[in-house]
Structure 1
Amino acid sequence: MAQQSRPGGVQSVGRALDILELIDQAGGEMALVEVSAASGLPMPTIHRLVRTLVDRNYLRQLPDRRYALGSRLIPLGNSALDAFGSRSSSALADVVRRLGESANLSALDGDMLVYVGQAPSPRAMRMFTELGQHVHPHCRAAGKALLAQLGDDEVRSILDRIGMPPMTAATITDPDEFIAQLDRVRREGVAHEYGEMEEGVVCLALPVVGGTANLALSISGPASRMTEALQERAVPVLREVAGELATQLAV
């Protein structure tokens, strides 16, 4: 179901963005009748909005008359990633210099987690993430750090919509257990991930509080290096850099 327009917003713009997000969530293409059913909008309204988006290359019509995301979105997405990267690159590089492990900046995009910045570790064995990739948040420390900022009911709604697929034997797949872990994240201000996305990988994350965007800063590395001692040393470093990022990205 499409999100309700916020007070003061332009309804047609909100509806057009809803359509793009629905098509993205459906894997990149949908039929008009599917868009109408998912959004709750009447077909005449869908036709007008989709025709405008096609004319501007934000959507394209396929031979089978379905609609797919258009080429105009590619440079916009790349520019958005570059903007995040350019404003956060020095801070992420500072984390890597001080802790020796890969640093990432993530955000919630709808119900999914998306990586918007990264600085890789200089070590031969290191963790990589694909910028712009949308992933399930329940099995990532960054996802936990961000979901902990929401209320339990909202978190449950997200989990109901996208599910909790098991990535490894350690992945939390029970909503009640996950909510209990978020309570701990709220108390401690730090989220942990122990092999829940990939076996042998440990990740530590905390939210970037105070900025205009809802972001999480994290480090990840092999369990053999992400010892308790390193994690204890990492928390104040991440808090310091998260504060710097909140200031930088709010400007």
Structure 2
Amino acid sequence: MPPSHASTADSKPSGSSGGVQSLERAFDLLERMADAGGEVGLSELSASSGLPLPTIHRLMRTLVGCGYVRQQPNRRYALGPRLIRLGESASRLLGTWARPYLSRLVEETGETANMALLDGDEIVYVAQVPSKHSMRMFTEVGRRVLPHSTGVGKALLAHTPADEVRALLARTGMPAATEKTITTPEGFLDALETVRRAGYAVDDNEQEIGVRCLAVSVPNSPTSAAISISGPAGRVTEAATERIVPILQQVAGELSDALASNGTTSG
């Protein structure tokens, strides 16, 4: 039950959306906290949201009571650990929602389709639809790999500031999975520039010899996500790339629209 100190003004429906205003405000504050790096002060939240301090204080006190926010010793507020379970469950569902779109990729390209997320410093594959003539490859659901040796890693990091990319690479190291793997920060940053210019990423035998992958990020995804196709280098040729990339980009856009629809439409 909501605490008795919640005001009736906060609980009333919020106009045309038909939502509850206090819920909308609470989730808006959580997202603003995430955008600010996970920890903020009340005055910062007031400045960014435009809400009065008493309203923010009341909402934050409720979120603290629920475990979704915690108050730090310095009196600032941080995202709470109960959000982790929600995020992990939502990430798993993201793969489920993506499967119909990955199936379309397989139908239209003939190659195995994957979806991957950036989880901390690693890439994790959350969904896959195998090709009918699939070969055993490194891409499988649950598999974790380092970003520097994968197409999805390049796609996911293409628009990350260079200093953040360098810091990630310093933490992970850049081990060579094959003799084609990029093993220097400068080489990887050059590859990211190529991704930004071309609009797609390539893993050319860099994670596994004999396998080529093409990847694009999912625009406006609620969490950093990319989709890819992977197959034998003999099939995923330069000519095939010209045909496949527009399909990848179209499906990524449609998946983005579906994720932004809030589940209010079918299909």
TM-score normalised per structure 2: 0.66
Deviation at 1:128, TM superposition (A): 5.5
Partner of 1:190: 200
Q: Structure 1 CA distance, aligned partners of 2:163 and 2:91?
A: 31
Deviation at 1:217, TM superposition (A): 1.0
Deviation at 1:246, TM superposition (A): 0.6
Query: Map of 1:3-82 to 2, 5 A cutoff?
Result: 5-7=38-40, 77=88, 79-80=89-90, 82=92
Name the CA shift for 1:90/1:172 in 2 (closer, same or farther; >3 Å). Answer: same
Name the CA shift for 1:124/1:103 in 2 (closer, same or farther; >3 Å). Answer: closer
> SS of 2:97's equivalent?
helix
> SS of 2:39's equivalent?
coil
Percent identity, aligned pairs only, is: 46
Alignment check: 8 A CA contact 1:170 1:196 kept: yes
Pairwise CA RMSD: 3.0
Alignment check: 8 A CA contact 2:182 2:188 kept: yes
Q: Structure 1 CA distance, aligned partners of 2:188 and 2:87?
A: 35
| Structure of higher RCO (CA pairs closer than 8 Å, 6+ residues apart) | 1
Name the CA shift for 1:248/1:223 in 2 (closer, same or farther; >3 Å). Answer: same
Partner of 2:253: 243
Instruction: Pick one of 166, 186, 194 that aligns with 1:176.
Output: 186
Count of residues in Structure 1 that have an aligned counterpart in Structure 2: 198
Partner of 1:24: none
Q: Structure 1 CA distance, aligned partners of 2:240 and 2:118?
A: 27
Name the CA shift for 1:211/1:200 in 2 (closer, same or farther; >3 Å). Answer: same
Partner of 2:107: 97
Q: Show CA shifts across 1:68-117 (max 9, x none).
A: xxxx97x985x545512321111000000000000111111111111111
Alignment check: 8 A CA contact 2:217 2:252 kept: yes
1:156 aligns with 2:189: no
Name the CA shift for 1:190/1:76 in 2 (closer, same or farther; >3 Å). Answer: closer
Consecutive unaligned residues of structure 2, counting only runs of 5 or more, are: 1-35, 46-59, 74-80, 263-267
Q: Structure 2 CA distance, aligned partners of 1:86 and 1:123?
A: 23
Consecutive unaligned residues of structure 1, counting only runs of 5 or more, are: 16-40, 43-52, 57-71
Name the CA shift for 1:124/1:247 in 2 (closer, same or farther; >3 Å). Answer: closer
> SS of 2:148's equivalent?
coil
Q: Structure 1 CA distance, aligned partners of 2:110 and 2:104?
A: 10
Partner of 2:94: 84
Partner of 1:25: none
Deviation at 1:4, TM superposition (A): 5.4
Q: Structure 2 CA distance, aligned partners of 1:128 and 1:122?
A: 17
> SS of 2:147's equivalent?
coil
Name the CA shift for 1:128/1:196 in 2 (closer, same or farther; >3 Å). Answer: closer
Deviation at 1:190, TM superposition (A): 0.7
Partner of 2:147: 137
Q: Structure 2 CA distance, aligned partners of 1:164 and 1:231?
A: 26
> SS of 1:211's equivalent?
coil
Q: Structure 1 CA distance, aligned partners of 2:87 and 2:186?
A: 38
> SS of 1:199's equivalent?
coil
The code of the aligned residue for 1:209 comes to: P
> SS of 1:242's equivalent?
helix
The code of the aligned residue for 2:187 comes to: E
Q: Structure 1 CA distance, aligned partners of 2:198 and 2:114?
A: 20
